[in-house]
Amino acid sequence: MTLEQKAILGTTAVVIAVVSYIPYFKDIFTGKTKPHAFTWLVWAILNGIAFAGQVHDNGGAGAWAVGFTTLATFSIFLIALVKGEKDIRRFDWLCLGGAVLSLIPWLITSEPLISVVLITIIDVFGFLPTVRKSIRKPRQETLSTYALSTLKYGLVVIALQSYTLVTVLFPLSIAILNGLFVLFLLIRRRQVTA
């Protein structure tokens, strides 16, 4: 695939990212969606680390959507402090602490791989406060945002200029996690209605 084709895919991934967050922000402000602040802060930190790792390893156009997602997730975190889920538990603090601690290996070793592996693992834990909340309140999450995020991160992987564990691991795992979360929400919404 040429660099021009990768640039088109990278741009498409950013457009999908923008489009995916529009209904999420709308749902937050109408009270339909109640984001869990800790999940979104963890995601902002993790995406920021992944973006830096991708830039470090010449991820190219595949890194653009991850950079945008860092800004969007941090914005949602800030809004969630006021309009989000208020049920903060010890487990949520542990997930946040793990995200912050994942920076340390990179700072000590100047090697992003250890941090990217850690953030990929921590992202699963960062997702858990939202999963926990969605077991009880599956309609408080905007399904289309997660579905489009699956597509976005799939395009991110394809658009990467350099394929290394540092550049691929995080976006591939996010694509899979978001896809699984979409399925989870669909199942829980049917169960809660039934």
* pTM for the full predicted model: 0.81
C-alpha Rg value of the chain to the nearest Å: 16
pLDDT at 194: 57
Could you tell me which of 159, 160, 154 has the C-alpha nearest to residue 182? 154
Q: Which residues pair with 85 in a beta bridge?
A: 36
Q: Chain-centre distance of CA 191, in angstroms? A: 26
pLDDT tens for each residue of 66-121:
999 999 999 999 999 999 877 777 887 887 787 777 777 777 877 778 878 888 88
Q: What is the DSSP letter of 31?
A: T
pLDDT at 61: 93
Q: Where are the alpha helices (DSSP H) in the chain?
A: 3-30, 37-56, 64-83, 90-101, 103-109, 112-136, 143-159, 165-193
- Counting as low any pLDDT under 70, the low residues of the chain are 194
Count, residues in the chain: 194
